[in-house]
Amino acid sequence: MQHPLPRIAIIGTGIAGLACAAQLHAHAAVSLFDKSRGLGGRMATRRSEVARFDHGVSRFSADGDFEVFLQPLIAAGSVAAWSPKTVRLSPQAGINQPRYAALPPRRQWVASPGMSSLGRAVVAQYQFDAVHLGVTVSALETQPDQRMRLLADGQVYEDFDRVIIAMPPAQAAALLPHGAMRQACESVVMQPCHTLMLAAPTPTEVAWDIALVDDPMVEIVIANHQKPGRDGSSAFVVQTNHQWSAQHIDQPVADVGQLIQARLFELFADSLAIEPLRDPESIAYQSCHRWLYAAAATPLQNPQGFLFDAASGLGVAGDWCLGTRVRHGFASGTALGAAVKKSL
């Protein structure tokens, strides 16, 4: 008699949740849950009538197991290599110092046509048991048979043998019972970031793809429309310094966007060819987004790279367990998936 597959719920569809799901899909019936309408977590893409913006993760590096994981997505055209032309902008450079200094090119990766495409491609490849988007899980409960149920938006999802939480640590802690795992999550401090998105109605070719900025407010500017697989209007993504964002975390996001835009015009005042970065009249779209949990100030650095209690069947993964990068999220989710697989 064939036994039914164990049922596993994974809450959060960023790279950690997706990597964990990929590890488990052949050994369990995996159900994904995410409060957002799309997959990918901070690998997100904002769509407007004018342009698309990768307003979370802008690009990522990969090697080893992560690059192997990406191979089918690369073959399908959902992920592309990108060696961006990168410069460092030093606004306070002296008279004999260049304001722009070219940096050595380095191969990185982007999802195409937007960063959120990676999540959709993974789900299409693995054909998980269920995908629930726009669903906010508010509580976990243990059933009389020791399996678990999720309470979400007035609905109950029952009979899970394992539950994986792949979310920022504060959100994970809110779902966990009191104990060591919850305390570990509560010990991690996350840093915020603001992202300003600007678009012009016509394409603007820029001599660089990424500008790293020596500035207390603006940290990086990305010419999003120059990534592989992008088309349409000029789209610029501007992300702030974590410390600056923390100081402005309680201000209305629209007001913060105006502050970033004003500073951007100061920084690029001499860049006559980049109208969207220096002339308000050339902007066809402007929006600002606040990421409350952009990166860990001090990652958990758990030697395992995840948290898992085999007795309760609860596990936690995320980039913040190991570092701040996409590759850390992949490593955390993959390692947790392997541990859960052994426990089944």
What Rg value do the Cα atoms of the chain yield, rounded? Answer: 21
* Alpha carbons 191 and 68: distance in angstroms, whole number: 30
The pairing of strands 234-240 and 137-142 is unpaired
The per-residue pLDDT for range 74-96, each reduced to its tens digit, is 999 999 999 999 999 887 754 44
- Write down the pLDDT at residue 3: 54
**Which amino acid belongs to residue 28?**
A
What pLDDT does residue 1 have? 38
> What is the C-alpha separation between 299 and 169, in angstroms, rounded?
10
- State the pLDDT at residue 233: 81
Residue 297: per-residue pLDDT: 96
Q: Are strands 162-165 and 7-11 parallel, antiparallel or unpaired?
A: parallel
| pLDDT number for residue 245 | 98
What the chain holds in terms of domains, given with CATH numbers, is 1-43+117-187+301-344 (3.50.50.60), 44-115+189-297 (3.90.660.10)
CA distance 91 to 282: 23
Q: Give the residue ranges of the chain where pLDDT is below 70.
A: 1-3, 93-98, 270-279
CA-to-CA distance for 25 and 315, rounded, in angstroms? 16
pLDDT at 90: 86
Reported as a single tens digit per residue, the pLDDT across 160-210 is 999 999 999 999 999 999 999 999 999 999 999 999 999 987 778 888 999
pLDDT at site 70: 97
